[in-house]
Amino acid sequence: MSKRILCTCEDVTVEEFRKAHHDGFTEMESLKRFTGVGTGFCQGKGCLCEAATELARLRGIDPSAIPLTNIRPPTRPLTFGELAGLDLPPLMEELERTAGTNGDAEVTP
Amino acid sequence: MSDSTVTIFFEGRAVAARAGTSVAAALWEHGVAALSHSPKYGRPRGVKCARGHCMNCLMRIDGVPNVRACLTQVADGMRVGRQDSGAPYGAPMQKVLDKGGHLFPVGFYYKWFTKPSALSRMFMSGLRPLTGVGRLPEPAAWADHGDTPPARDLGHIETLVIGAGIAGMGEALAADGEVMLVDDSLRCGGQRRAAFDLVTESAADVLNGLEHLAALRARLENLAARVEAEPRIEVRTGTTVVGAWQPDMLLLEDSEGLAVVRARHICWAAGALDAAPLFDDNDRPGLIGPRALYRLLARDGLDLAGRATLVAGRGFDAVLSAALLHTAGAKVTVALEPGRTGDPALLATANRLGWSLHTGQTIAAAHAQNDRLASVSLASTDGGTTEVPCDLAVIATRAKPAYDLAYQLGVDLVLDPERGGYVPRGADLGRLETTTPAGVGLIVAGEAAGLSPEALLQEVSA
Amino acid sequence: MIPLPSGPVPYQADAVIIGGGVNGLAVAYELSKRGVKDIVVLEKAYLGSGSTGRCGGGIRQQWTTEANIRLAQESVTAYENLASELGLQTFFRQGGYLMVTDNEAHLEGLRKAAALQNRCHVPTEYLQPQECLKIAPNLDITNIKGATFCPKDGTAYPFSVVWGYARACQRRGVKIFIRTELNDVKLEGDRVTGVSTSRGDIATPLLINCAGPWARTLAAKVGVELPNRQERHEIMVSESCKPFLDPMVISISNGIYFSQSMRGEIVGGIGDPDEPSWERPDQFDTRSQLRFAVRFAKALIGYYPPARAMRMMRQWAGMYDVTPDHRPILGGVEGLDGYQHICGFSGHGFMLAPMAAARMAQMITSGEPDEIIASLSLARFANGDVEADAFVVG
Ligand SMILES: Cc1cc2nc3c(=O)[nH]c(=O)nc-3n(C[C@H](O)[C@H](O)[C@H](O)COP(=O)(O)OP(=O)(O)OC[C@H]3O[C@@H](n4cnc5c(N)ncnc54)[C@H](O)[C@@H]3O)c2cc1C
Ligand code: FES
């Protein structure tokens, strides 16, 4: 069956994305969680722009009005073995606790 | 690229591979384009980005699941295999879904078999074996692992430039004080420079008359020579930035593992990611972008002699891809996007080198046979369609500015499909200078700031 | 699902619920089931955008206080039937919770808790380290001194629970407004009479505060001071893998918890003793710390060595709304009519939501007092009537 794949990691077609929008998932935040777009191994590198552009088209709004969803570190998966190797005492102590120290906390998109 | 060979075992069969090449390239040459199967529809997937960004090449290698075959060098005795769907009914069910997917409501696994509770439970236990990709690593991969080598702390540096392409090298030269310039390719100048090297080493005359390309190359060489001669600049190739954490912590990964670094100034000049246009069966093994091609040829030495190849798209990267494919001994067809007629020099080159050239074309569909690309259908502006048989197609449409690290560093990004994707707000002139919440000076430059490579060249030469 | 609103909020409602998290939507559903007609739910961002969408989805009955055990136990029964009740899969899977400790001093507490849970008919077993391997193969038991296991505990996918409640609400005529913020509460004397929102005013005799980590800010608008602190907690997912781990493993000695989701990912977090609590919601900082990734990786490998060769995919953070005894605040406030709390859940508001909501709705509609709600009232802090739960992890 021929398919236009929007998100290869989660196997989401353009059609499915549109149907999910039709089901009432009208924002990237919920579309992403419902269809899986952007949540797979590539973390959206392969599909986030494309999906957001499609959503703008579906909603008939300017693409710039579609907010970007959070992009969490790491940007490439790292083994727990490698991460555990980062337990460098000076570094761990130095890690700053940013609580309440700045006014630009992340906003919920 | 070394001439010695090693033997890897692909699903039990011995496969000879050139030492130094990647598992993905070795298997492709061996006739295996499908490295994995997609999770829901079981569709064959092959190498796509060749730089660890997607998941198409996740394989089980030496007992470890989900290893990226495009980043893994072959080694003697290495065991490589595709990962299965997890249950005997997995593959047949994927077929049903693939064939009849349009009959299922979207997210049917949320909506079906919810009632009564007993059925819902049965559905869940039937579903579970199909979830996930790859089986647990085998004990040898973790049991006697000893202690993981500690990561390195590179401390605080003055300036970190991420991406050693035209923009990154330019920024590194312009910065004050000590600079660390990192790039995930193996060459200062990035993958394009490595690609040019390959072309000029073996068939310099390919570039004759292609003035834009020659100018790009001259620019790259000039900047690289200056960077390499500059003692202030430490170049680290084969180094990928793998994330930014609060408040200003960056992690680098290279052949020795992870390293933490903090910088007073950061320049994000990581270029762009290959585009992923949406046409029918756009996920077929053998469809790649120019950046992937540069890596597969310059880094892995992929053997394409005699293969039928197609380059579709526009701009520098389309032409450079065609030149590279030609150099590699492939048969080349070039299909330029509508609005891109190709300059006379390109037409002359195509003529001279025997490329077949189509203009005003967009890709309508890809077709596979035996789990690998067989042909690509082009639709022309006048309504006609052309079917181009090919083993490999390079899609060189407008690339997407690299954005993930910019986001993590606190850059406000805005979606602009005209410029390929997410671009920093306020970088209308192709460069943004700002300060992060943690007080780090931040520059976004080059293709990462939304410039096309053509505009970048003008910008830099101006 | 719930589309973006296209007009103003209704000018009047029988109940206004603040918060489109699991608690707000569950109580809206339970109220509508009990015949309350005009219900409006307000959510300032998207459904599940608060703690709910950031949580680990763990559901356990292994607690040390009877109120928590009973709420959790009733909630597990509710979760067992929730997919069928709401008509949407919740991906609730009862792989059990394996609660381990490396600390001899905890063993007595684990035994006692298991006994109390057994008295409440929760089938918890006390296990020797060796026996853990039957439940979680490949676990490294070198440092484990003892454990308890309840096979009826499990995990669910927070977003599908939220959507399930939202859809069921919608079918019953509940009006859910996303991207709509409560700005102010109107009081007349000692009663709530309405709210003003970013999409207009609503007159209402009943306001329910399900605002999660923002509950304290909202309570302040009606002059109620909550003792809740807000704490950042970080959590992560790994790349996905075929099923290899059935239970949620949770350590009361170092605070790590991890399980395998129905997508095959390891989902887990670890508490950080140095995590400060924050006073102002505009300071909630849920950006990612490398320190968390490193601490989690070390602790994970410590209990589950195969993870050495597995990969972390992404980390994120959310806020806990923490009360002095780590137990929720349910019910109203003496001397203020038309105002109710469902908040202060610390790290366990997802698992307690179905029953907290059902009991609250029952109490509100019947006017009959509820013994558990009474034991969890705000007044308990003033009365000094607090019994902290010892099994607070994560
Ligand atoms: C990392 C982490 C892991 C966790 N793991 C678990 C777990 O395994 N098991 C478990 O049971 N619990 C867990 N929890 C706790 C659990 O997530 C919470 O207790 C629970 O989700 C609370 O749900 P809620 O509906 O009360 O609040 P929330 O989900 O926070 O919902 C409150 C909503 O109110 C909205 N709101 C606030 N103010 C306003 C306003 N003025 N106007 C309009 N809307 C407003 C917010 O936007 C938000 O969506 C975890 C929490 C975290 C952070
Ligand atoms: S990650 Fe290997 S091809 Fe993309």
Whether A27 and C4 lie within 8 Å, measured CB to CB:
yes
pLDDT at C261 over 60: yes
Q: Which of A26, A72, A83 sits opposite C3 (nearest CB)?
A: A26
Rounded Cα gap, residues C241 and C236, in angstroms: 15
Question: Within this chain, do residues C187 and C177 fall inside the same structural domain, yes or no?
Answer: yes
**Res A102: pLDDT:** 34
Q: Whose Cα sits closest to atom 16 in ligand 1?
A: C349
Question: Within this chain, do residues C261 and C394 fall inside the same structural domain, yes or no?
Answer: no
pLDDT at A93 over 90: no
Closest CA to C300 of C150, C157, C153, C139: C139
Min distance C349 CA to chain B CA atoms (Å): 23
The DSSP H or E segment spanning B79 is strand B79-81
pLDDT tens for each residue of B308-327: 999 999 888 999 999 999 99
Question: Within this chain, do residues C70 and C10 fall inside the same structural domain, yes or no?
Answer: yes
Q: Where are the beta strands (DSSP E) in C256-391?
A: 256-260, 265-270, 277-278, 311-322, 329-333, 336-343
pLDDT at B147 over 80: no
Q: Which residue matches tokens 């239970």?
A: C247
C209 lines ligand 1 (CB under 6 A): no
Tell me which amino acid residue B436 is: T
Min distance B123 CA to chain C CA atoms (Å): 10
Question: Within this chain, do residues C300 and C193 fall inside the same structural domain, yes or no?
Answer: no
Q: Does A70 map to a domain?
A: no
**Cβ count within 10 A of residue C7:** 8
Q: List the beta bridge partners of residue C240.
A: C265
Q: Does A43 map to a domain?
A: yes
pLDDT tens for each residue of C12-67: 999 999 999 999 999 999 999 999 999 999 999 999 999 999 999 999 999 999 98
Whether B313 contacts B336, CB under 8 Å: yes
Atom of ligand 2 nearest to the CA of B50: 3
Question: Within this chain, do residues A95 and A54 fall inside the same structural domain, yes or no?
Answer: no
**Res B385: pLDDT:** 93
Q: Which of C80, C239, C264 sits opposite B117 (nearest CB)?
A: C80
Rounded Cα gap, residues C293 and C302, in angstroms: 14
Question: Within this chain, do residues C264 and C251 fall inside the same structural domain, yes or no?
Answer: yes
**Res B261: pLDDT:** 94
Long-range contacts at C298-301 (CB < 8 A, ≥ 24 apart): C298/A84, C298/A87, C299/C251, C299/C254, C299/C256, C299/C270, C300/A80, C300/C256, C300/C258, C300/C266, C300/C268, C301/A80, C301/A81, C301/A84
**Residues in CB range of C215: below 8 A, 6 or more apart:** C209, C226, C228, C321, C341, C343, C344
C324 has a chain B CB within 8 A of its CB: no
Answer whether the bond into residue B247 is a cis peptide, omega within 30°: yes
Which 24-63 residues of chain C touch chain A by CB within 8 A? 45-49, 53
Which of B33-42, B97-106, C291-300 has the lowest average pLDDT? Answer: B97-106
Question: Within this chain, do residues A46 and A88 fall inside the same structural domain, yes or no?
Answer: no
pLDDT tier for residue B172 given thresholds of 50, 70 and 90: very high
Which of C267, C287, C321 is where one domain is finished?
A: C321
Q: Which chains have 3+ CB pairs within 8 A of B? A: A, C
Chain B hits for C83, CB-CB cut-off 8 Å, are 114-115, 117, 120
Mean local confidence (pLDDT), C340-350: 96
**Res B248: pLDDT:** 84
**Res C273: pLDDT:** 82
Q: Which chains have 3+ CB pairs within 8 A of A? A: B, C
Question: Within this chain, do residues C243 and C386 fall inside the same structural domain, yes or no?
Answer: no
Give me the CATH number covering residue A38: 1.10.10.1100
Strand pairing class (B331-336; B308-313):
parallel
Interface test with B, best of C82, C140, C165, C241 (most B CBs within 10 A): C241
Residue of C nearest to A36 (CA): C263
**Res B1: pLDDT:** 52
Mean local confidence (pLDDT), B43-61: 95
Which of C285, C301, C321 is where one domain is finished?
A: C321
Kindly tell me the sign of the dihedral angle through the C-alpha atoms of C253, C256, C261, C266. Answer: negative
Chain A hits for B49, CB-CB cut-off 8 Å, are 45-46
Residue of C nearest to A94 (CA): C291
pLDDT tier for residue C3 given thresholds of 50, 70 and 90: confident
* Total domains, chain A: 2
From ligand 2's centre to the CA of A50, what distance in Å?
19
Whether C240 and B132 lie within 8 Å, measured CB to CB:
yes
- Could you tell me the domains of chain B? 5-145 (3.10.20.440), 152-273+400-459 (3.50.50.60), 287-396 (3.50.50.60)
Min distance C255 CA to chain A CA atoms (Å): 17
Rounded Cα gap, residues C220 and C160, in angstroms: 31
**Res B208: pLDDT:** 87
**Res A107: pLDDT:** 44
Residues of B with CB under 8 A from a CB of C: 64-66, 86, 109-117, 120, 123-124, 127-129, 131-137, 139, 141-143, 145, 148, 245-246, 249, 251, 260
Chain B hits for C89, CB-CB cut-off 8 Å, are 109-114, 120, 123-124
Question: Within this chain, do residues A61 and A103 fall inside the same structural domain, yes or no?
Answer: no
Whether C206 contacts C197, CB under 8 Å: no
Question: Within this chain, do residues A19 and A54 fall inside the same structural domain, yes or no?
Answer: yes
**Res B436: pLDDT:** 87
Domain of residue C303: give its range.
94-152+229-321
In angstroms, the Cα distances linking C75 to B179, B309, B387, C354 are 57, 60, 60, 5
Question: Within this chain, do residues C386 and C242 fall inside the same structural domain, yes or no?
Answer: no
pLDDT at A109 over 70: no
Q: Whose Cα sits closest to atom 21 in ligand 1?
A: C52
**Residues in CB range of B418: below 8 A, 6 or more apart:** none
C6 has a chain A CB within 8 A of its CB: no
Question: Within this chain, do residues C116 and C181 fall inside the same structural domain, yes or no?
Answer: no
pLDDT tens for each residue of C93-107: 999 999 999 999 999
Question: Within this chain, do residues C185 and C297 fall inside the same structural domain, yes or no?
Answer: no
Mean local confidence (pLDDT), B78-106: 86
Whether B131 and C310 lie within 8 Å, measured CB to CB:
no
Q: Which residue matches tokens 């459904």?
A: C47
Interface confidence (ipTM) of the complex: 0.94
pLDDT tier for residue A105 given thresholds of 50, 70 and 90: very low
Angle formed at CA C237 by CA C233 and CA C241, multiple of 5 degrees: 155
**Nearest ligand, CA of residue C215?**
1
Question: Within this chain, do residues C11 and C83 fall inside the same structural domain, yes or no?
Answer: yes
Closest CA to B271 of B453, B460, B440, B416: B453
In B101-146, where does DSSP find H-type helix? Answer: 108-111, 117-127
Within a 13 Å sphere around the CA of B396, how many CA atoms are in the beta-carbon half?
A: 27
Rounded Cα gap, residues C296 and C314, in angstroms: 12
Whether A27 and C46 lie within 8 Å, measured CB to CB:
yes
Question: Within this chain, do residues C114 and C159 fall inside the same structural domain, yes or no?
Answer: no
pLDDT tens for each residue of A26-62: 999 999 999 999 999 999 999 999 999 999 999 999 9
Q: Where are the beta strands (DSSP E) in chain C?
A: 15-18, 39-42, 58-59, 97-101, 125-127, 146-150, 154-155, 175-177, 182-188, 191-197, 200-203, 207-209, 229-240, 248-251, 256-260, 265-270, 277-278, 311-322, 329-333, 336-343
Angle formed at CA C174 by CA C375 and CA A15, multiple of 5 degrees: 120
Q: Does A34 map to a domain?
A: yes
Question: Within this chain, do residues A61 and A81 fall inside the same structural domain, yes or no?
Answer: no
Rounded Cα gap, residues C56 and B100, in angstroms: 34
**Res A94: pLDDT:** 56
Which of C301, C321, C341 is where one domain is finished?
A: C321
Question: Within this chain, do residues A9 and A60 fall inside the same structural domain, yes or no?
Answer: yes
Mean local confidence (pLDDT), B404-419: 93
pLDDT tier for residue B460 given thresholds of 50, 70 and 90: low
**Res A90: pLDDT:** 61
Whether B107 and A4 lie within 8 Å, measured CB to CB:
no
**Res A83: pLDDT:** 93
Within a 13 Å sphere around the CA of C198, how many CA atoms are in the beta-carbon half?
A: 13
Within a 13 Å sphere around the CA of B271, how many CA atoms are in the beta-carbon half?
A: 24
In angstroms, the Cα distances linking B375 to B172, B314, B353, B364 are 43, 19, 22, 11
pLDDT tens for each residue of B442-452: 999 999 999 98
Mean local confidence (pLDDT), C214-228: 96
Chain B hits for C293, CB-CB cut-off 8 Å, are 245
Average pLDDT across chain C, whole number: 95
Q: Which of B64, B112, B132 sits opposite C242 (nearest CB)?
A: B132
Phi, psi of A55, deg, nearest 5: -65, -40
Strands of B64-68's sheet, edge to edge? B13-18, B5-10, B79-81, B58-61, B64-68
Q: Residue A55 corresponds to which tokens in the numbers above?
A: 């959503």
Pocket of ligand 2 (CB under 6 A): B 47-50, 52-54, 56-57, 68, 70
Whether C319 contacts C347, CB under 8 Å: no
Q: Does A71 map to a domain?
A: no
With a pLDDT cut of 70, the percent of chain A lying above it is 81
Average pLDDT across chain B, whole number: 92
Chain C hits for B145, CB-CB cut-off 8 Å, are 305, 308-309
pLDDT tier for residue B148 given thresholds of 50, 70 and 90: low
pLDDT tier for residue C393 given thresholds of 50, 70 and 90: confident
Whether B143 and C305 lie within 8 Å, measured CB to CB:
yes
pLDDT tens for each residue of B390-403: 999 999 999 999 99
Residue of C nearest to B150 (CA): C294
Render C66-120 in DSSP notation, one character per residue.
HHHHHHHHHHHHHHHHHHHHHTS----B---EEEEES-GGGHHHHHHHHHHHHHT
Give me the CATH number covering residue C175: 3.50.50.60
C175 lines ligand 1 (CB under 6 A): no
Mean local confidence (pLDDT), B6-17: 97
pLDDT at B461 over 90: no
Question: Within this chain, do residues A49 and A19 fall inside the same structural domain, yes or no?
Answer: yes
With a pLDDT cut of 90, the percent of chain A lying above it is 72
Question: Within this chain, do residues C364 and C348 fall inside the same structural domain, yes or no?
Answer: yes
pLDDT tier for residue A106 given thresholds of 50, 70 and 90: very low
Question: Within this chain, do residues A87 and A42 fall inside the same structural domain, yes or no?
Answer: no
* Total domains, chain C: 2
Residue of B nearest to C140 (CA): B143
Domain of residue A53: give its range.
5-65
